[in-house]
């Protein structure tokens, strides 16, 4: 089994965020933006495989692309999977598709690290976009970002960013600094 230091864990989580930025926006019937997701799998020999949402086919989740398209013939047991968003749960996909969490179990990956684990009651209130935004701030905890930077870096609509930033501030997960054009946001929790 792959053993990683805290520094390596952070490095691979940051790599998954970089990979996430390549995600391809898809058209949805509800017109909501699809979440950008990056996945990184670290093999026992420390080589890395990456995937992002829509990389090989529109709508394919990053975990699906990585496991089913790129590593299907491999024995991945003992590898570690990093994802920028908690994998979709059983029943989240329409039959015959499997949720990414089920797929990960089927591939017998013993360790999966999502940037945020939604066990905490406060975090359970967040939607996918807010979790992704919180992940971004956690991985960039040394500085504050203007809303326009968040929009650009996460590839989301300004109104979506505004709503998600407000909710994260209301939950005391982000801190709002300044007013007007100088308003910036930073992580409130570590």
Per-residue confidence band for 143, with pLDDT thresholds at 50, 70 and 90 = confident
Q: Is 109 found in the same domain as 24?
A: yes
Cβ 50 vs Cβ 81: under 8 Å: no
Regarding whether 143 and 109 lie in a shared domain, the answer is no
Q: Please, are residues 137 and 174 in contact by the beta-carbon 8 Å criterion? A: yes
* 102 and 149, same domain (yes or no): no
Q: Which two tokens stand for residue 27?
A: 């058209």
Q: Is 135 a residue whose pLDDT tops 80? A: no
Q: What is the pLDDT of residue 117?
A: 39
- Same-domain pairing of 50 and 79: yes
Same domain, 12 and 80: yes
Q: What is the CB-side half-sphere exposure of residue 68 using CA atoms within 13 A?
A: 19
Tracing tokens 């919180």 back to the chain, one arrives at: 134
pLDDT at 119: 35
Percent share of the chain, pLDDT over 90: 25
Say if residue 107 is in the same domain as residue 132. no
At residue 32, the pLDDT reads: 72
Q: What is the pTM of this model?
A: 0.59
For the cut 70, the answer to whether the pLDDT of residue 175 exceeds it is yes
Asked whether residue 177 is domain-assigned, the answer is yes
pLDDT digits (tens, 9 = 90+) for 57-102: 988 899 999 999 999 888 888 888 888 887 776 666 666 677 777 7
**Confidence (pLDDT) at 15:** 92
CATH of the domain at 133: 1.10.10.10
Q: Residue 169 belongs to what domain range?
A: 121-187
Q: What is the mean pLDDT of residues 127-147?
A: 79
What is the pLDDT at residue 112?
Answer: 53
Residue-wise pLDDT for 3-36, tens only, equals 888 889 889 988 998 998 898 877 777 777 778 8
pLDDT at 132 over 50: yes
The domain tally of the chain equals 2
Res 133 pLDDT > 60: yes
Q: Considering the domain boundaries, does residue 104 fall inside one? A: yes
Examine the domain organization and report whether 17 and 76 are in the same domain: yes
- For 145-158, what is each residue's pLDDT tens digit? 999 999 988 888 99
pLDDT confidence of 111, banded at 50, 70, 90?
low
Runs of H (alpha helix) within 28-186: 62-64, 100-106, 121-124, 128-139, 147-154, 158-170
| Residue 19 sits in the same domain as residue 69 | yes
Retrieve residue 108's tokens. 């017998």
């Amino acid at each position: 089994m792959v053993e990683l230091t805290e520094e390596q864990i952070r490095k691979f989580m940051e790599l998954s965020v970089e990979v996430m930025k390549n995600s391809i926006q898809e058209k949805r019937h509800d017109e909501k933006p699809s979440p950008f997701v990056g996945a990184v799998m670290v093999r026992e020999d420390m080589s890395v495989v990456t995937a992002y949402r829509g990389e090989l086919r529109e709508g394919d989740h990053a975990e699906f692309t990585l496991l089913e398209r790129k590593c299907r013939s491999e024995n991945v047991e003992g590898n570690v999977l990093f994802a920028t968003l908690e994998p979709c749960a059983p029943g989240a996909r329409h039959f015959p598709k499997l949720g990414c969490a089920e797929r990960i179990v089927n591939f017998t990956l013993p360790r999966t690290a999502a940037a945020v684990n939604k066990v905490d009651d406060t975090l359970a209130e967040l939607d996918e976009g807010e979790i992704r935004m919180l992940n971004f701030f956690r991985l960039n905890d040394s500085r504050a970002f203007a809303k326009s930077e968040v929009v650009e870096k996460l590839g989301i609509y300004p109104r979506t960013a505004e709503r998600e930033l407000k909710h994260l501030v209301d939950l005391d997960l982000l801190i709002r600094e300044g007013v007007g054009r100088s308003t910036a946001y930073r992580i409130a929790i570590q």
